[in-house]
Amino acid sequence: MMVTAKSARMAAVLCGLIVLSQAQEIDPGLTEVWDPVPRVVTPGEGNAPCSDAILLFDGTNASAWQHENGDSVRWEVRDGALTVRKKTGDIFTRQSFGDCQLHIEWRSPSEVSGESQARGNSGIFFMKRYELQVLDSYENRTYSNGQAGSIYKQSIPLVNACRKPGEWQSFDVVFMAPKFSEDGSVRSPARITVFQNGILIQNHFEIQGSTMYRGAPRYEKHDAREPIRLQDHGNPVSYRNIWVREL
């Protein structure tokens, strides 16, 4: 039989109609999933905490934090900000967290002094040991895996999204805690995604271990939940509007 272009087109149309009619016979309800029902969370205005957030600093009250020895924080609370007071030491949340979403706003000093790592250095350590670097990286060159928004000495931020010194900026973070086996080996490493001022700077990065200043990072088994720690690196970096959601 000779297949003409016309008959081939006709066959294609018929095939299409058959497939279409078969698809129409499938009940669309078969692919609807009704359970579970997501619980309701009421968003906050702007960057304000949502209804299920745990407030860690509201601008006036730093009681969610303590120094390592349990002392109340000696950092300065003034004008709605919590500011590093040099040589008073790092501060830790009293509550411990595993997988979490964190919103935190920070400001490097408007008076620019020092350079590289000595300018507006602080840091947010998840589980006390995995550092998301805070630094004045506005026109301040340092090693790329140590600039603001880096996972310190492990991951360079995708872009430099820093505002000028003295301006408030935000980190929004999704942190997934590492999971360990009984024998201490890593079952799944920690993961981190970070937005700085709404811009993606870390995309589901696999953390390689505890932050190290010297040498390679490595994991050491720890609890499923640990405090969040803010670093006193000797520079008067300020924080405000800190809230966390457990995931």
| Count of residues that bind Mg ion according to CB under 5 A | 3
Member of 109, 123, 149, 165 binding Mg ion (CB under 5 A) = 123
State which residue has the least CB distance to Mg ion.
123
Nearer to Mg ion, 116 or 180 (CB): 116
Residues 50-79 that bind Mg ion (CB under 5 A): none
Question: Of 13-21, 98-106, 122-130, 185-193, which segment contacts Mg ion by CB under 5 A?
Answer: 122-130
SS3 138: coil
Nearer to Mg ion, 49 or 171 (CB): 171
Least Å distance, CB 240 to Mg ion, is 18
Least Å distance, CB 149 to Mg ion, is 11
One-letter amino acid for residue 232 of the chain: D
Which alpha helices (H) appear in the chain, and where do they start and end? 5-25
Residues in CB range of 69: below 8 A, 6 or more apart: none
Here the contacts of 160-163 (C-beta below 8 Å, separation 24 or greater) are 161/196, 161/197, 161/199, 161/201, 162/136, 162/137, 162/138, 162/196, 163/138, 163/197
The answer to whether 157 contacts Mg ion (rule: CB under 5 A) is no
Residues in CB range of 8: below 8 A, 6 or more apart: none
Least Å distance, CB 87 to Mg ion, is 15
Least Å distance, CB 121 to Mg ion, is 5
Residues 210-239 that bind Mg ion (CB under 5 A): 231
Least Å distance, CB 131 to Mg ion, is 6
Least Å distance, CB 233 to Mg ion, is 5
Question: Longest Cα pair distance anywhere in the chain, in angstroms?
Answer: 93
Cβ-contact 217, 210 below 8 angstroms: yes
User: The dihedral of CA 208, 132, 148, 72: what is its sign?
Assistant: negative
SS3 12: helix
Nearer to Mg ion, 53 or 135 (CB): 135
Question: Of 23-31, 47-55, 114-122, 166-174, which segment contacts Mg ion by CB under 5 A?
Answer: 114-122
Q: Which spans of this chain sit near Mg ion (rule: CB under 5 A)? A: 121, 123, 231
